């Protein structure tokens, strides 16, 4: 393959810089690699069939130095290579399938203005360029630098993608090494960064035969048929990739025996919610294999099965009665499921997410014989059990389903709120799952975007390149509030407050001291000053004048001023405010029958075939000295039409009179009349 | 608009409109506790003034005295709602949407006979009332007249309407309360302690769930916290010292928790619609008392001086 060294230019990154770019020296390399590679694979598989898993296979095997020497002879100092790798080196192949592969243009010349750079350019040739969508796992484009730290710095990218006219294969390699190192592999380099690719330009080779030859020397298989995906091949692995188990006098757990075993547990550690979990709610679930051996949910260490179960209870529609926690005998009292609500952060009223926690005995975690599973602390942190009380274990994740970190702090401001653990030896395991779709209130002052941003996007912006923590952006307090709420809930769960019969408020002292040092209102809910002061009026004054006598009203209003009773009638005195809405139209006084569902009008009564209408209005006596009022019976006596000469209608016109409501013998004395007024029009009355 | 017409003559709050001596309300509770009722305008009664009464812990009994002559007139008189040979039941009715329930008190049977004032009462159990509620005097037909008279109800139990406009009893409002708890911490325990279990002073209200002055009710000096010599059992000098210390501790703790944000927060204007958080309360103390928060000793001094000043102000205003 053709060697393309990166020349030194102004502001040019160097190999030494890239090897430090992730700024995470505390997390074991294999953990970083698992987090980065699976996250990339899951991101590349987002557009695929949602019913099928994204498959990621980790292969670790030996390879010959000759395979490297023959393929990368141009540019490599072969003498140094053979001197550094006297023993047969190993390679790691991370192969994802069912993903879209390294798509997009292969050179920057092919990128259109403001166009997409695509997976290929971002992964192989770029640093710091990230995916634009909020739900993507990656956010910084720096995570891939961990590949170069796994071995000599050589990384081979092989991919098969769906092209417009069939399939296309691509293979390219890059080397990132400390340019100042005495036993560097490149003969001459100013930056320590180089690529191997096509003959005439710095891009991937695409000839299948050539690619397959190279793969064969490395023991890798090409993608065939309709398969698409990516294989990251990291040869010349370091021999000391396994972290040191620094616990004097204690045996290392079984996964410290080989890189394969360690990778197996690391996958469980970071992707427990998504691994072999068809109920995963926000994307395709993960199918992971190590040297072709699949990690099933049933194979997972108990602590990680618990974590998956907590996720399912929060996000998936999986019946809790049949899940793993129920199977190991977790009672409802030993589990917590709680909404985490924040005040004043979201556009709507929904929660920030869900907090789930469970208290587990060592037996439930299979720590007793004959299983003798290592303790949760060992599984998560690869350190010995700290003894009773065990520190709480809290994890949290975005929708991508990767555990951001496992927090076991007992600080009062930590995720567990200072809960130091159960004194009876149980373990507290908890998970916070945010509600990604919650929209944050825009606030540039709090460091948030001035436009609407969802919680997922905000939390993504709170992650550093290694995705190992959420730290609020300057001015923002969302993460702080979530952590505080989770801490309070977990502390209460771990140390439930015992209701004390001896505690009672000292009301008089509370009132007296408040009067001494607090504003009289606002710091409590006491009623001694009357009802809560109303908020400042937002609209106009309340004196709209409705119903006030003699004031112009738009619609007609009928006021009953007196009621008298006779043997079979109710006599009412009334006052009609004519109203200024269509003043020339007649007004109609009607009587209906009261009912639970509202007044039943004459027409509804008849339509419902309820028999004879129980009320009948007599013609009214008009008191007003207004000669032009004409009265007319309508609707078989269930209404009276009042007609006034249009010229006589003035603002504030009042018509008063007396009206008799006669009750028929068919139940009229048991039914309650409702009288009203409406404007008459040709198309029927309208109240 | 429409109006429902009553099928028989009904009362429409004829009492208490002009002559308030026709009606009198008395509020009581158990164990000699005075609920501290105060009549405001518009028929509103508030509870809790100078009182230990707590709606969660103590019942509320309301008694209503009705002058009889006027009562007979409005019920059995010419414009009344029942014939002179009928029997009318009277009862106090409690209705509260905030408390989510309504009830009638014991019934008083009224004949058209002169006699002593009518006394109605109703007891509302501890922990059953909140927000506010309306108390009204309701009349019902107890026993119908021998003759069927048009316009009078004749079904026993028929509602004859309210005798007076209902009074509005306010249990909860927005009156400030200082979070003071009494707890048995034992004879050997401290006289008082600071309960501080907030996780975020800006986000949690200034209430006893998150912060409280806990007084040890079994401490030998507990009684010395109240000054029994005064009518209203004001706080004693010892209590003022306890209170000043407690205030200083809370302010200092909040300052420590908020770190660099504390000074910014102090300088910010008061929020109009805040939650009255712990931090809000601390800011209020500092502003009202012009407290010196630069160091704990200075804070102790300025807090004591402020409290003494406030006590003098309150006493001179009394």
For residue B25, give the CATH number of its domain.
2.60.40
pLDDT of residue A473: 78
Cβ atoms B86, B142 nearer than 8 A = yes
Q: Does residue B166 sit within a domain? A: yes
**Domain residue limits at B309:** 180-317
Q: Are residues B167 and B208 in the same domain?
A: no
Most B CBs within 10 A among A345, A509, A594, hence the mutation to make, goes to A509
pLDDT at A538: 40
Q: Considering chain A, what is the average pLDDT of its residues?
A: 85
pLDDT tens-digit series, residues A523-542: 888 888 888 876 544 433 33
User: Of A211-225, A227-241, A456-470, B53-67, where does mean pLDDT reach its minimum?
Assistant: A456-470
DSSP code at position A123 = I
B130 in a structural domain: yes
* Mean pLDDT for all residues in chain B: 90
Q: Is B46 inside a domain boundary?
A: yes
B184 and B124 share a domain? no
Residues B145 and B83: their CA atoms lie apart, in Å, by: 6
B148 and B111 assigned to the same domain:
yes
For residues B159 and B193, state if they share a domain: no
- Tell me which of A641-645, B62-66, B72-76, B298-302 is least confident: A641-645
pLDDT tens per residue, range A586-628: 999 999 999 888 899 999 999 998 888 999 999 888 886 566 7
Same domain for B139 and B245: no
Say yes or no for a CB contact (<8 Å) between A531 and B132.
yes
pTM of the model: 0.64
Is the confidence at residue A678, as pLDDT, over 70? yes
Residues A480-494 have pLDDT tens digits of 889 988 998 998 898
pLDDT greater than 70 at residue B20: no
Whether A331 shows a pLDDT value over 60: the answer reads yes
Under a CB-based contact definition with an 8 Å cutoff, are residues B174 and A521 in contact?
yes
Of the two residues B105 and A341, the one the predictor is more confident about is B105
Look at residue A143 and tell me whether its pLDDT is greater than 80.
no
pLDDT (mean) for B49-67? 92
Q: Would you state the pLDDT for residue A220?
A: 94
The span from the CA of A345 to the CA of A479, in Å, is: 11
By C-alpha distance, the chain B residue nearest A511 is B177
Q: Is residue B7 domain-resident? A: no
> Does residue B1 have a pLDDT over 70?
no
Q: B117 and B54: one domain?
A: yes
Q: Do A417 and B175 touch (CB under 8 A)?
A: no
State which H helix or E strand residue B24 sits in.
strand B23-28
The token pair that represents A286 in the structure block:
């993960």
Q: pLDDT digit string (tens) for A73-96?
A: 888 888 999 999 989 999 999 999
Reported as a single tens digit per residue, the pLDDT across A626-656 is 667 888 899 888 999 988 887 777 778 888 9
On chain B, the residues whose CB falls within 8 A of the CB of A520 are 175-176
CA–CA separation, A600 and A593 (whole Å):
5
The Cα–Cα gap between A576 and A623 comes to 11
The minimal CB distance from B275 to the residues A343, A484, A661 is found for: A343
Same domain as B42, residue B163: yes
Q: How far is B317 from chain A (nearest CA, A)?
A: 12
B247 & B292 share domain: yes
* Residue A421: Cβ within 10 Å count: 21
Residue A42, pLDDT above cutoff 60 = yes
Q: Does one domain contain both B199 and B302?
A: yes
pLDDT in tens, B183-224: 988 999 999 999 888 878 888 889 988 899 999 999 999 989
Evaluated on CA atoms A196, A199, A203, A206, the torsion sign reads: negative
Lowest-pLDDT range of A236-240, A386-390, B59-63, B106-110:
A386-390
pLDDT of A467 > 80? The answer is no
User: CA of A679 to nearest chain B CA: how many angstroms apart?
Assistant: 11
Domain boundary among B151, B171, B191: B171
**Which among B3, B40, B50 is the nearest to A558, CB-wise?**
B3
C-alpha–C-alpha distance, residues A540 and A687, integer Å: 26
Residue A188 has a pLDDT of 82
Q: A661 vs chain B: nearest CA distance in angstroms?
A: 10
Chain center to CA of A321:
25
In the prediction, which pLDDT does A552 show? 57
The position carrying tokens 């075993």 is: A261
Stretch A108-123: mean pLDDT, rounded? 76
Looking at the predicted structure, is the pLDDT value of residue A322 above 70?
A: yes
Residue B9 domain-assigned?
Answer: no
pLDDT for the residue A551: 52
Among all residues of chain A, which has the CA nearest to that of B39? A530
Domain end call among B171, B196, B229: B171
Say if residue A685's pLDDT is above 90.
no
Contact A378, A304 (CB under 8 A): no
Mean pLDDT computed over A380-403: 89
- pLDDT at residue A542, rounded to an integer: 39
| Residue A336, beta-bridge partner list | A357
Helix (H) or strand (E) holding A357: strand A353-360
Asked whether the beta carbons of residue B49 and residue A528 sit closer than 8 angstroms, the reply is yes
The pLDDT score that the predictor gives to residue A683 is 44
- B121, B138, B171 - which closes a domain: B171
pLDDT interval class at B316 (50, 70, 90)? confident
* Spacing of C-alpha A503 from chain mean position: 40
| The pLDDT of residue A130 is above 60 | no
Same domain, B163 and B199: no
A511 to chain B: which residues are within 8 Å by CB?
A: 48-51, 175, 177-178
Strands (E), A479-629: 504-505, 521-526, 557-566, 569-577, 587-593, 615-617, 621-622
Residue of A nearest to B132 (CA): A531
User: When comparing pLDDT for A186 and A500, which is higher?
Assistant: A186
- CB contact under 8 Å between A526 and B53, yes or no, is no
Asked if residue B3 is part of any domain, the answer here is no
B75 lies in the same domain as B138: yes
Please tell me whether residues B255 and B313 are part of one structural domain.
yes
Instruction: Name which of B175, B271, B272 to mutate to probe chain A: the one with the most chain A Cβ atoms within 10 A of its Cβ.
Output: B175
Number of CB pairs < 8 Å for A and B?
220
pLDDT tens figures, A196-220 = 998 888 888 999 999 999 999 999 9
> Given an 8 Å threshold on Cβ–Cβ distance, is B48 in contact with A564?
no
Cβ-based neighbours of A304, under 8 Å, separated by 6 or more: A268, A269, A272, A275, A379
Nearest CA in chain B to A567: B150
Task: Indicate the range of A263-277, A655-669, B21-35 predicted with least confidence.
Answer: A655-669
pLDDT of amino acid A549:
45
Determine the Cα–Cα distance for residues A251 and A261; give it in Å rounded to an integer: 16
Has residue B281 been placed in a domain? yes
Cα–Cα distance for residue pair A486/A488, rounded to 1 Å: 5
Across the interface, whether the CB atoms of B4 and A674 are under 8 A apart is answered: yes
Cβ distance of B49 and A516 shorter than 8 Å? no
Instruction: For residue A131, count other CB atoms closer than 10 A to its CB.
Output: 18
The verdict on a CB contact (< 8 Å) between A507 and B235 is no
Query: How many structural domains compose chain B?
Result: 2
Decide if B10 is inside a domain.
no
Give pLDDT, residue A626: 63
pLDDT value of position A134? 59
């Amino acid at each position: 393959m053709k060697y393309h060294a990166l020349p030194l230019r102004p502001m040019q990154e160097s190999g030494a810089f890239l090897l430090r770019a992730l700024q995470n020296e505390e997390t074991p390399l294999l953990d970083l690699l698992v987090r980065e590679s699976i996250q990339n694979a899951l991101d590349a598989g987002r557009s695929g069939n949602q019913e099928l898993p994204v498959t990621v296979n980790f292969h670790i095997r030996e390879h010959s130095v000759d395979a490297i020497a023959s393929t990368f002879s141009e540019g490599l100092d072969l003498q140094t290579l053979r001197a550094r790798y006297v023993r047969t080196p190993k390679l790691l192949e991370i192969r994802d399938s069912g993903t879209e592969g390294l798509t997009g243009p292969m050179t920057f010349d092919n990128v259109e203005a403001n166009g997409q750079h695509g997976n290929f350019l971002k992964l192989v040739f770029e640093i710091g360029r990230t995916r634009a969508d909020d739900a993507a796992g990656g956010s910084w484009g720096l995570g891939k630098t961990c590949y170069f730290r796994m071995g000599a710095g050589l990384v081979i990218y092989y991919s098969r993608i769906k092209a417009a006219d069939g399939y296309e294969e691509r293979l390219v390699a890059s080397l990132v090494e400390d340019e100042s190192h005495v036993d560097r592999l490149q003969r001459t380099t100013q930056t320590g960064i180089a690529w191997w690719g096509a003959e005439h330009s710095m891009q991937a080779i695409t000839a299948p035969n050539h690619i397959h030859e190279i793969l064969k020397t490395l023991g890798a298989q090409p993608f065939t048929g309709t398969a698409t995906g990516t294989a990251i091949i990291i040869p010349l692995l370091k021999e000391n990739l396994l972290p040191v188990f620094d616990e004097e006098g204690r045996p290392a757990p079984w996964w410290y025996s080989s890189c394969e075993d360690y990778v197996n547990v690391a996958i469980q550690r970071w992707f427990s919610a998504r691994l072999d979990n068809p109920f995963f709610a926000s994307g395709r679930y993960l199918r992971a294999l190590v040297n072709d051996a699949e990690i099933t949910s049933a194979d997972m260490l108990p602590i990680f099965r618990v974590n998956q179960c907590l996720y399912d209870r929060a996000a998936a529609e999986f019946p809790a009665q049949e899940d793993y926690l129920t199977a190991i005998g977790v009672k409802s009292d030993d589990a917590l499921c709680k909404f985490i609500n924040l005040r004043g952060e979201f556009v709507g009223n929904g929660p920030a997410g869900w907090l789930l926690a469970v208290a587990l005995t060592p037996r439930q975690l299979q720590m007793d014989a004959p299983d003798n599973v290592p303790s949760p602390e060992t599984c998560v942190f690869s350190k010995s059990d700290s003894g009773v009380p065990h520190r709480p274990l809290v994890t949290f994740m975005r929708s991508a389903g990767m555990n951001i970190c496992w927090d076991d702090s007992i600080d009062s401001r930590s995720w567990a709120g200072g809960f130091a653990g159960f004194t009876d030896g149980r373990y507290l395991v908890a998970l916070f799952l945010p509600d990604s779709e919650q929209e944050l209130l825009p606030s540039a002052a709090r460091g948030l975007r001035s436009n609407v941003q969802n919680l997922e996007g905000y939390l993504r912006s709170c992650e550093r390149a290694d995705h190992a923590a959420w730290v609020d952006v300057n001015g923002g307090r969302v993460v702080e509030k979530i952590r505080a709420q989770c801490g309070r809930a977990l502390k209460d769960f771990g140390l439930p407050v015992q209701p004390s019969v001896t505690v009672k408020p000292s009301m008089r002292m509370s009132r007296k001291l408040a009067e001494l040092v607090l504003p009289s209102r606002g710091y409590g809910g006491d009623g001694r000053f009357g009802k809560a002061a109303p908020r400042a009026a937002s609209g106009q004054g309340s004196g709209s004048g409705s119903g006030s006598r003699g004031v112009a009203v738009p619609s007609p209003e009928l006021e009953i001023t007196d009621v008298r009773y006779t043997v079979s009638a109710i006599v009412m005195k009334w006052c009609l405010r004519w109203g200024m809405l269509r003043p020339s139209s007649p007004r109609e006084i009607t009587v209906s029958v009261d009912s639970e569902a509202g007044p039943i009008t004459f027409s509804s009564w008849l339509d419902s075939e309820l028999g004879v209408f129980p009320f009948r209005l007599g013609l009214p006596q008009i008191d007003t000295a207004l000669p032009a009022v004409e009265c007319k019976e309508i609707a078989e006596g269930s209404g009276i039409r009042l007609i006034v000469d249009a010229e006589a209608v003035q603002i504030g016109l009042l018509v008063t009179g007396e009206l008799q409501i006669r009750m028929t013998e068919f139940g009229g004395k048991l039914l309650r009349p409702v009288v009203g007024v409406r404007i008459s029009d040709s198309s029927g009355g309208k109240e | 608009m429409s109006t429902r017409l009553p099928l028989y003559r009904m009362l429409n709050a004829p009492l208490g409109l002009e002559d308030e001596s026709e009606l009198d309300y008395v509020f009581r509770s158990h164990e000699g506790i005075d609920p501290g009722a105060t009549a405001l305008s518009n028929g509103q009664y508030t509870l809790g003034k100078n009182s230990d009464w707590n709606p969660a812990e103590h019942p509320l009994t309301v008694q209503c005295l009705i002058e009889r002559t006027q009562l007979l007139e409005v019920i059995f008189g010419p414009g009344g709602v029942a014939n002179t040979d009928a029997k009318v039941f009277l009862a106090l009715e409690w209705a509260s949407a905030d408390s989510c329930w309504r009830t009638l008190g014991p019934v008083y049977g009224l004949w058209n006979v002169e006699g002593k004032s009518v006394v109605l009462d109703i007891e509302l159990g501890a922990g059953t009332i909140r927000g506010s509620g309306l108390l009204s005097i309701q009349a019902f037909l107890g026993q119908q007249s021998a003759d069927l008279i048009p316009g009078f109800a004749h079904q026993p139990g028929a509602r004859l309407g309210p005798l007076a406009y209902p009074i509005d009893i306010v249990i909860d409002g927005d009156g400030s309360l200082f979070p003071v708890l009494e707890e048995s911490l034992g004879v050997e325990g401290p006289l008082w302690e600071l309960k501080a279990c907030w996780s975020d002073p800006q986000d949690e209200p200034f209430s006893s769930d998150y912060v409280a002055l806990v007084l040890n009710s079994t401490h030998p000096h507990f009684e010395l916290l109240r000054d029994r010599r005064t009518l209203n059992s004001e706080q004693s000098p010892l209590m003022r010292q306890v209170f000043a210390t407690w205030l200083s501790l809370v302010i200092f703790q909040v300052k420590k928790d908020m770190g660099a944000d504390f000074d910014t927060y102090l300088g910010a204007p008061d929020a109009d619609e805040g939650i009255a958080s712990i931090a809000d309360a601390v800011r209020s103390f500092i502003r009202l008392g012009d407290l010196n928060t630069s160091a704990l000793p200075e804070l102790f001094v300025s807090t004591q001086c402020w409290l003494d000043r406030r006590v003098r102000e309150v006493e001179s205003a009394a």
